[in-house]
Amino acid sequence: MREIIGQQMIMGLSGEELTQEESQFIVENNIGGIILFDRNLKSVEQIHKLITDIQQLRYKLPEKTPLFISVDMEGGRVQRLKEPFTKWPPVKNLGDIDSSNITFQFTRLMGRELKAMGFNLDYAPCVDVLMNPENEVIGDRALSTDPELVAKHSSAMVRGYIKSDVLTCAKHFPGHGYTKVDSHFDLPVDERTLIDLEKQGDLEPFKKVIKARVDMIMTAHIKYPNIDPQFPVTLSPLFITQFLRGALRYRGIIITDDLDMKALTKNFPIDDLPVLALQAGATMLLYCNEPKSPLKAVKNIAKAISDGQLDQDVLRANHDLIIKTKIKKLKNPIEPFSLEKAQQIIGHQEHKDFAQAVGEQKVDAYLNTPQN
The sign of the CA dihedral 314, 208, 215, 220 is negative
- To the query of whether residue 320 is one of the catalytic residues in this protein, the response is no
Among the listed residues 184, 271, 320, 353, the single catalytic one is 184
CA 223 to chain centroid: 20
Of the residues 128, 190, 257, 258, which is catalytic?
Answer: 257
CA 346/CA 83 separation, integer angstroms: 9
Q: How far, in Å, CA of 119 to CA of 60, rounded? A: 20
| 176 included as an active-site residue | no
Q: In whole angstroms, what is the distance from residue 236 CA to residue 229 CA? A: 10
Q: How far apart are CA 58 and CA 148, in angstroms?
A: 41
Task: Classify residue 135 by burial, with Cβ atoms within 10 Å: 0-12, 13-18, 19+.
Answer: buried
- Classify burial at 97, counting beta carbons within 10 Å of its beta carbon; exposed 0-12, middle 13-18, buried 19 or more: buried
Interatomic CA distance for residues 255 and 268, integer angstroms: 19
Q: Which residues are catalytic?
A: 184, 257
